[in-house]
Structure 1
Amino acid sequence: MKLNEAQITKTLSRFRAQVLAEDHPAVAQFRELFGQHTFFLDARGLYILELLEVPGMEAEEGEVISLADWSDTDSNKLTTHQPEPTGVVIRLKEIRH
């Protein structure tokens, strides 16, 4: 999910990370692997926000999902893994527009 500025701010208020800038060299590669998302990095690895879909209803929340972990002590190399929910849920309904 691509986030707007308000959604990024809301996410960062609940999840301590950095947003990768759109022009960061790694973003193109991440998009090839994971699709169109806003990507977050922290001391553990790479994350995105996925909408929590409820059949028949508009999504109101998203959950931070872990996609890759740092595989070296210098945080220079990521190793991907199956997407893992983190339990961090962000309420988005009020800030979708």
Structure 2
Amino acid sequence: MRLSAARVERTLSQFEAQCIPDNHPVVPQLNQIFGDHTFFIDNKGLHIVEPAEPERGGTPTGQVIKLATWSDANRTSLAPHEPEMTDVIVVLGAEPN
């Protein structure tokens, strides 16, 4: 799932990570491996956000999914694995008009 700038901002206010900018040289390779997503990186690895059940009232939410884990203590290399659901649910809110 590709997130708008507003949804990236909301996600980062609820999930301690960094967003990998779309113009980063690694993004085309990540898109080739994992599909077209907004990617986040934290001390546990590489993540995306996928749609989840809306909150009461219909407010859109997303589930943080881990796609890769750091393979070394210096966090210089990622090891991809089967998508792993985390317990992190973020409130995405409505898209701005």
Query: TM-score if structure 1 supplies the norm length?
Result: 0.87
- Aligned-partner SS, 1:36: coil
Match of 2:9 in 1: 9
Query: TM-score if structure 2 supplies the norm length?
Result: 0.87
Counting matched residue pairs gives: 93
Structure 1 residue ranges without an equivalent (≥5)? none
Runs of 4+ in 1 over 4 A off after TM superposition: none
**Equivalent residues of 1:67, 1:80 under 8 A apart:** yes
Shift of 1:96: 2.1
* Residues in 1 aligned to 2:74 and 2:26: alpha-carbon distance in whole angstroms: 16
Aligned pairs (5 A) from 1:1-97: 1-52=1-52, 60-92=60-92, 94-97=93-96
- Aligned-partner SS, 1:95: coil
* Residues in 1 aligned to 2:47 and 2:24: alpha-carbon distance in whole angstroms: 15
Structure with the bigger percentage of helix: 1
Identity %: 43
Structure 2 residue ranges without an equivalent (≥5)? none
Alignment RMSD: 1.7
